[in-house]
Amino acid sequence: MSGIAGVVVVVTGLLGGDGLSEVAGRAGPVLAFLLAVTVVAELADEAGVFDAAARLAARVGRGRTWLLWLLVVALGTLATVVLSLDTTAVLLTPVVLALAAQLRLDPLPFAVTTVWLANTTSLLLPVSNLTNLIGLRTLEGFGVRGTVGFAGLTWAPFLAGLAGAVLVLGLAYRRRLRGRYDPPPAAPPRDPVLFRTSAVVCALLAPAFVSGITPAVPAAVAAAVLVAVFAVRRREALRFGLLPWRTVVLVSGLFLVVEAAQVHGLEDLLRPLAGTGESFGDHLRLAGTAALTANVADNLPAYLAVEPLAGSAARLVAVLVGVNLGPLVTPWASLATLLWLDRCRARGVRVSLPRFALLGLVGALVCVPAATAALQLVR
């Protein structure tokens, strides 16, 4: 739908040549990264990396359900930080749900934890969320250089958001996380060469992403390596469906529509809500505006709409806090949540949307202020 809307704003002239050039400059590197990292994540999943990680967590948990849950928290956080929130929602969710079914555990706490971590821990690195990748370029205009500079502003809000999510979820599901399970036996990978290669490639991505190189470059190299190895050992896995074309069309359309809206006065409409200033209250107001907009209209267009109202590096991080940690209430607040919901339904896990929204509201009211408060320590 957003793809059609994007075509409409171009054909009707609502977005002129300058606007198209701006969209191309901002969207190009983001979409290139999205394509490459999706291929990496899909092939790593095909090689059994995520399944092996989940089984390892179950064995390390030694039969304690609450400890397994904490290990899933760690696994989800790592997957989100290095491979993006969509990877956690799409690929880790079915693995965790299958593990819960195998261990005869209630799947709901693990399912909700996965999607919450996909959103609330997507703040640390530029590659963790498409909103961050877009914001990286804007932050450079404020004198913040590269991934290290980005993380220097986001590490404290990231930790605060993670702590808030764990606290709320731990309290909400404390009864369901009691008890024990029988640890699963070790399962050898189907193809040890593919498994080891994929695991090494994923491990090397983390230092590559913080090296200062444009994130799309190491992602593309990693994708090329895995495609080459799979071409030799399991060619049938290399299918057109590996490429997230629907997401690319969706994101491209959102860029075009929001840019057209900005040209026609969207910024003036949002300015009274976002306010100005650099105090904690000012930052919280801006983060709240971003979170509210995300829960109404999805986090990516929300970021694009609110970003021009930032005006400083700290305020831009406040926007990212809102659009990354805030989309916990409505299922359409982030694409990752919609993808996660599809995976849950495919596995037969029933998610009550009213209860999901109520718990998400509590989570947003805890995580967004906590992360905004932590931002005051590093700005």
What is the number of residues in the chain? Answer: 379
What integer pLDDT is reported at residue 357 of this predicted model?
96
The tokens for 318 are 């406040």
**How far apart, in whole angstroms, are the C-alpha atoms of residue 307 and residue 254?**
14
d(C-alpha 333, C-alpha 309), whole Å: 20
State the distance between the two ends of the chain, measured CA to CA, in whole angstroms.
38
**Which of 322, 316, 326, 321 minimizes the C-alpha distance to 278?**
316
Alpha helices in the chain (DSSP H): 2-11, 17-46, 49-60, 65-83, 85-87, 93-102, 107-120, 130-141, 146-172, 192-209, 216-233, 245-263, 266-274, 280-297, 299-306, 313-325, 335-346, 353-375
Q: What is the pLDDT of residue 3?
A: 55
Give residue 214's pLDDT.
82
Give per-residue pLDDT as tens, 43-72. 998 999 888 888 888 889 889 999 999 999
Confidence (pLDDT) at 180: 92
Cα–Cα distances in angstroms (integers) from residue 246 to residues 31, 35, 59, 94, 253, in the given order = 12, 11, 37, 20, 11
Render the burial of 218-236: b for 16+ CB within 10 Å, e for the rest. Answer: bbbbbbebbeebbeeebee
Cα 195 to chain centroid, rounded: 24
CB atoms within 10 A of CB 140: 14
Neighbouring C-beta atoms of residue 278, cutoff 10 Å: 14
Q: Which residues of the chain have pLDDT under 70?
A: 1-24, 26, 259, 262-266
Residue (of 145, 150, 106, 114) closest to 132 by Cα position: 150
pLDDT at 310: 92
DSSP character at residue 124: S
Q: Indicate the number of domains in the chain.
A: 1
| Phi/psi at 196 (5° precision) | -65, -40
Domain residues for 290? Answer: 2-375
**pLDDT tens digit sequence for 153-194:** 999 999 999 999 999 999 999 999 998 998 888 788 889 999
Quote the CA–CA distance of 302 and 330 in Å, as a whole number: 14
Output the pTM of the full model. 0.83
- How far is residue 26's CA from residue 38's CA, in Å, rounded to a whole number? 19
366, 167 Cβ separation under 8 angstroms: yes
What the block records as the tokens of 293 is 């907009």
135, 320 contact by CB (below 8 A): yes
> What 3-state DSSP class applies to 309?
helix
Query: Do the beta carbons of residue 250 and residue 2 sit within 8 Å?
Result: yes
CA dist 320 → 48, 69, 336 (Å): 32, 27, 16
